[in-house]
């Protein structure tokens, strides 16, 4: 389904694309840390908890900060077997209802509970419980609301495009199924 661009989506989508391209380097760093950790463990018999925690942090950062880009690029999971046989108008209605009924409430819950989760960690100066673990646990916890904030931007961009597709007078409706 090709959705029309809006002034909002023309501002947000390039930003999300740049962030997605930048975050893609996290996966290269993750691979390097894994290789170093494996070499240290199996060649030098020296395991380092810092490297294991950095792996978790890099994976979490890459995943969470890529959510917005994946949604903006339409690279998210859906049931394509069913989706590809639907008319564009039907696809747009399903997208609209999915955003309004499922995605926005879920993002709201994550942000409502995620921000205090990070704040408490920051106030307590939370650190890893593992000996030799990483400090600043709040920094990795910050990726949760940050990632979902980026996803929220992508959702609003997509919502504006779906809205124009469905309701703009300039768009010729291909079917009149409605909801």
User: Could you write out the DSSP letters of every residue in the chain?
Assistant: --PPP-HHHHHHHHHHHHHHHHHHHHHHHHHHHHHHHHHHHHTS----HHHHHHHHHHHHHHHHHHHHHHHHTT-S---HHHHTTS-HHHHHHHHHHHIIIIIHHHHHHHHHHHHHHHHHHHHTT---SSTT--S-HHHHHTHHHHHHHHHHHHHHHHHHHHHHHHH-TTSPPS-----
The parent domain of residue 26 ranges over 7-167
**Residue 18 maps to a domain:** yes
Q: In this predicted model, what pLDDT tens digit does every residue of 54-94 receive, in sequence order?
A: 999 999 999 999 999 999 988 877 666 677 788 989 888 99
Q: In this predicted model, what pLDDT tens digit does every residue of 15-56 receive, in sequence order?
A: 999 999 999 999 999 999 999 999 998 998 887 888 888 999
**Residue 172 maps to a domain:** no
**Residue 2 maps to a domain:** no
- pTM summary value: 0.86
**Residue 178 maps to a domain:** no
**Residue 174 maps to a domain:** no
Number of domains the chain is built from: 1
């Amino acid at each position: 389904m090709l959705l029309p661009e809006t002034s909002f989506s023309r501002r947000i989508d390039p930003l999300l694309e740049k962030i997605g391209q930048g975050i893609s380097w996290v996966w290269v760093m993750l691979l390097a840390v894994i290789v170093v950790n494996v070499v240290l463990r199996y060649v030098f018999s020296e395991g380092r908890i810092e490297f294991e925690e950095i792996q978790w942090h890099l994976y979490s950062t890459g995943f969470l900060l890529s959510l917005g880009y994946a949604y903006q690029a339409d690279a998210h999971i859906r049931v394509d077997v069913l989706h590809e046989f639907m008319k564009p108008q039907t696809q747009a209605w399903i997208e609209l209802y999915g955003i309004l009924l499922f995605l926005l409430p879920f993002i709201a819950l994550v942000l409502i509970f995620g921000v205090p989760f990070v704040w408490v960690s920051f106030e307590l100066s939370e650190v890893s419980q593992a000996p030799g673990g990483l400090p600043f646990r709040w920094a990795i916890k910050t990726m949760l609301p940050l990632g979902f904030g980026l996803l929220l931007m992508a959702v609003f961009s997509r919502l504006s495009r779906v809205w124009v597709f469905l309701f703009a007078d300039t768009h010729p409706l291909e079917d009149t199924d409605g909801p």
